[in-house]
Structure 1
Amino acid sequence: MEFALLIKAAIMGIVEGLTEFLPISSTGHLILAGSLLQFTGDKVKVFEIAIQTGAMFAVMWEYRTRLLATMRGIGSEAVAQRFARNVLIAFVPAVVLGLALGSLIKSHLFHPVPVATAFVIGGLIILWVERGHRSEYGARDLQGERRARVETVDDMTALDALKVGLVQCAALLPGTSRSGATIIGSMMFGFSRKAATEFSFFLGIPTLVGAGAYSLYKQRDLLSLSDLPMFAVGLAFAFISALVCIRWLIRYVSTHDFRIFAYYRLLFGGLVLLSWHTGWVNWSA
């Protein structure tokens, strides 16, 4: 396998890991990065979905104590049972809609211009939600931790989980951001920023690992053993960069809001649309 191809796989893995858990759309960044790197095609689409599993391995490693405690207590402990139930409830809507609409969405919307448009729209939504959140909690209680209805993931009800699962479905549209949809949606439903962020991490485990496994199985005829190094490099770099991002993000949300990501989405999406409109960049993917 060409060394240049492995370099591209490493870059894509880093992009995936650094963007998966931020409200800026990892899929959107992968589509744009792949277009710039001329790293496109049906096999690459499978690769982009598969390396999300590397980011999820980072979540499982970082929260291994919580996940192991849940597995040990799921037969007898109410907290573990409620946690597992909520993740399962939130997971189901995206599975149903993904199976029903996934192929249609991929064929029409997995392109740079629709992605950039979603970037801009998502940025405006984040600003709108943050404005309402600040009005509700006040500047001196920016995070809303003392007054949030759902302060931790253990405070969630089954209805809360269903609501988060439904807003996660918006992330089927590339450029929307799965993390952005679940985190910002959760905040709208009364979650603290930390609870919203952590539940987004946990919900990503079945959602993205399942999507990766399904994509690999469905497109298995496209792949061969010679592709293994490319996938291994992408997974490894996604894991490392995601682990760094997770640890940083949890510290960040304790003292900051998400407006900086909204401004980033507006700027980045706007630049892509401008470069497409003027012909500065050939967004061919």
Structure 2
Amino acid sequence: MIVTDLDIYFILKTIVIAIVEGITEFLPISSTGHMIIIGRFIEFEGSFEKLFEIFIQAGAITAIVVLFRKKIFASFKTLHPGGDGFKLWTNIFVALIPTGIVGLLLHEKVTHHLMQPLPVAFALLVGGLWMLFGEKKYRHDSKRLHIDEVSYKKAFIIGSFQIMAILWPGFSRSASTIIGGWIVGLTAITGAEFAFFLAIPTIYSASIYYLLTHIFTLTTIEIIALALGFFISFMVAMVVVEQFINYIKHQSLKGFAYYRICIGALMILLTLFNII
């Protein structure tokens, strides 16, 4: 295979997007929103680029599987009615119901109309304001519940909050889950863990589906890009998730909210003035 300068430039773009994915996937700042915005800046847009952005999320979620492997394996050992594992994964299934229904019904329309910098910028800004409101009103009222103590009702409500992230790219699945968790009485750490586990079936299924629908049209350089992007997003997410878990145990999420508001406002201005 002859590697051209365009191939190298293409690979460099994929590395940038993979790093962005690894950093942002589990932070409450929206990985999809950041990849759309950064992708527009570096001209990384198209059908393969969409596949790449979805597939490398599997790299990031693999970091969750590795970091939480003990809890995941322990849950499989009690995957029977009445067991903690059965309760955990049933909760995950219940939480997926509202987002799954909405996603199936509206995915194409959302992708066509809202996967653009301006709607994403507004989502970042509004989501930041929502985080500030949720932090002030609900966080300190949260009970210290373990993830295994989440009821089916609470799981469904948390899943319903994720609908906003499905309908409005840039709103953030992580932020929606954490805030939904606060409202039903969870701590930030329990809400974050629930978001991590909820992402495992969601992201893996989407990544595998998109890969299978494109696999026979991929070029050699695109296959290399996918493998490299998966590995980079995995390695970056390994570091970020550990730091994020340690951070939210003791710190406010206001910094993430202010970041979202600033980035969202900046992107709105840049878009309105046709800079991007």
TM-score under structure 1 normalisation?
Answer: 0.90
Work out whether 1:162 is the aligned partner of 2:156: yes
Structure 1 residues without counterparts, runs of 5 or longer: 138-143
State the match for 1:276 in structure 2: 271
CA deviations 1:3-23 (Å, max 9, x no partner) are 221111111111001101111
Deviation of the 1:76 alpha carbon: 6.5
Structure 2 residues without counterparts, runs of 5 or longer: none
Deviation of the 1:222 alpha carbon: 4.7
Partners of 2:192 and 2:101 in 1: CA distance: 23
Partners of 1:212 and 1:93 in 2: CA distance: 20
State the match for 1:113 in structure 2: 118
Secondary structure at the counterpart of residue 171 of structure 1: helix
* Identical-pair percentage: 34
Partners of 2:217 and 2:186 in 1: CA distance: 42
- The structure 2 residue matched to 1:215, chosen from 210, 218, 222, is 210
State the match for 1:60 in structure 2: 65
- The structure 2 residue matched to 1:104, chosen from 105, 109, 118, is 109
Answer whether contact 1:74 1:81 (CA < 8 A) is retained. yes
Secondary structure at the counterpart of residue 175 of structure 1: coil
The range that moved more, 162-171 or 54-63, is 162-171
Answer whether contact 1:43 1:222 (CA < 8 A) is retained. no
Aligned residue pairs total: 270
- The structure 1 residue matched to 2:195, chosen from 191, 197, 200, is 200
- Runs of 4 or more, structure 1, over 6 Å off, are none
TM-score under structure 2 normalisation?
Answer: 0.93
- The structure 1 residue matched to 2:259, chosen from 255, 264, 279, is 264
Deviation of the 1:207 alpha carbon: 1.0
Which amino acid counterpart does residue 91 of structure 2 have in structure 1?
N
Work out whether 1:133 is the aligned partner of 2:138: yes
Deviation of the 1:209 alpha carbon: 1.1
Partners of 2:196 and 2:268 in 1: CA distance: 30
The root-mean-square deviation of aligned C-alpha atoms, in Å, is 1.6
Secondary structure at the counterpart of residue 162 of structure 2: helix
- The structure 2 residue matched to 1:251, chosen from 228, 246, 249, is 246
- The structure 1 residue matched to 2:46, chosen from 18, 41, 44, is 41
Partners of 1:99 and 1:225 in 2: CA distance: 32
State the match for 1:141 in structure 2: none
Which amino acid counterpart does residue 76 of structure 2 have in structure 1?
M
Residues 221 and 104 of structure 1, relative CA distance in 2, 3 Å threshold = farther
Work out whether 1:50 is the aligned partner of 2:50: no
Greater RCO structure (CA 8 Å; 6+ sep)? 1
Partners of 2:216 and 2:160 in 1: CA distance: 32
